Amino acid sequence: MGRVVVFGSINLDTVLEVPHIAAPGETVGGFGLETFPGGKGGNQALAAHNAGADVCLVGKVGMDAAGQQMIDFYRGEGLPIDGIGNSELPTGAAFIQVERDGGENAIVVVAGANGDFTVADADAVEIAPDDVIVAMFEVPIAVNEALFSRARGIGAQTVLNPSPAHPCPPGLFASTTHLVLNETELAVLSGHPISETSSDGFIAAAVSALEAPAGMVVVVTRGPGGARGFAAGDVIPMPGRRVDAVDTTGAGDCFTGVYAARLAAGDDVETAMIYANAAAAISVTRPGAATSLPTHAEIESLLRRKWS
């Protein structure tokens, strides 16, 4: 069993509960304000850790109160902090509007320390052939590319979550073995307009338009609609589960982290998707991102129930 090595962002999230997402120029009265640990890197690492994986989180925080708060949180959760460095820039931050009914969200991210990475930082990350390396777009993409290239050179699996949505450099794309993305991100990478009502056939056409390298697995998360996997010419349908959503923030990170954890445990793509889909269904029933992530026991318990 290999490790899950997550190279990514660490943020302190400020969550605003609102009646609806504010439109440009609109002022909306909020119902409440809370702060939570977040950042896609931290969320995905903690999701994998909670799912039972041996995890190394490689990230940076500022030398400020927010950074210390994040370190204390991870330490309390039992997530190793050896890979977290300090930056003279402030700790990354995210400001999140969450609708009271339905849990939909809109997010603004300020990179701060998450942008303070060089290729030398990537070169310093220890990688073994049986590791699963995870990266996203809240840290410098050029550094992701260097890390993935080295990982593929020794035979490690790589999982890219291209979020926030941004075109993917050819070198990084070529070094990715598992692409995990949502409909918005698929639309940006493929050039196909996609919505939550798009048919599975339309999703498949968009995936085909990616012209993914041979052997790449593409997993498209569809929120309440579950997920669709595309591997070696096969389509893996994964229906959604009916739950009462409270906050969808971090659901994609939960899916990605648990998916990587199951790959590191030796599972095939379909089994990894089953676990990740169940974990994400649990996460949306709880507020916050890092604070909503389920344990391995909770995921197993849900999987033992009748599908609903």
Tell me: the pLDDT tens digits for 91-139? 999 898 989 887 788 888 899 999 999 999 889 999 999 999 999 999 9
* For residues 276-300, average pLDDT: 91
User: Is residue 308 predicted with pLDDT exceeding 60?
Assistant: no
Cα four-point dihedral sign 269, 183, 293, 45: positive
* For residues 173-182, average pLDDT: 97
Distance CA 88, CA 94 (A): 18
Main-chain dihedrals φ then ψ at residue 123, nearest 5 degrees? -65, -25
Q: Is 253 a catalytic residue?
A: yes
> Which residue(s) pair with 107 in the sheet?
96
CA 93 to chain centroid: 16
The pLDDT value given to residue 248: 81
Could you tell me the pTM of the whole model? 0.91
Distance CA 140, CA 79 (A): 23
Q: What is the pLDDT of residues 200-226, one digit of tens each?
A: 889 999 999 999 998 999 999 998 899
User: Is residue 291 predicted with pLDDT exceeding 90?
Assistant: no
Write the CB contacts of 122 (distance below 8 Å, at least 6 apart in sequence).
7, 143, 144, 146, 147, 150
Neighbours of 296 (CB within 10 A): 16
User: Would you say 241 and 200 are in contact if contact means Cβ atoms under 8 Å apart?
Assistant: no
- Percent of all residues in the chain with a pLDDT value above 70, rounded to a whole number: 99
Main-chain dihedrals φ then ψ at residue 278, nearest 5 degrees? -65, -40
The pLDDT value given to residue 161: 98
User: Would you say 13 and 110 are in contact if contact means Cβ atoms under 8 Å apart?
Assistant: no
Average pLDDT in the chain? 93
The pLDDT value given to residue 276: 97
Write the CB contacts of 23 (distance below 8 Å, at least 6 apart in sequence).
none
Least confident of 14-18, 276-280, 286-290: 286-290
Distance CA 103, CA 42 (A): 21
* For residues 78-86, average pLDDT: 95
Distance CA 180, CA 269 (A): 12
Distance CA 172, CA 152 (A): 11
Amino acid at 204: A
For tokens 């593409």, what's the residue? 218
User: Is residue 294 predicted with pLDDT exceeding 70?
Assistant: yes
* For residues 63-78, average pLDDT: 96
User: Is residue 307 predicted with pLDDT exceeding 60?
Assistant: no
The pLDDT value given to residue 196: 78
Q: What is the pLDDT of residues 224-255, one digit of tens each?
A: 899 999 998 899 999 988 888 887 878 999 99
Cα angle, residue 22 at apex, residues 21 and 25 outer, rounded to 5°: 165
More confident residue, 106 or 277: 277
- The runs of H, that is alpha helices, within the chain are 40-50, 65-77, 119-123, 141-153, 170-174, 183-190, 200-209, 251-264, 269-283, 296-304
The pLDDT value given to residue 109: 84
Out of 13, 116, 247, 253, pick the active-site residue.
253
Query: 78 pLDDT band (50/70/90 cuts)?
Result: very high
The pLDDT value given to residue 101: 83
Tell me the two tokens of residue 53: 């994986």
Query: 306 pLDDT band (50/70/90 cuts)?
Result: low
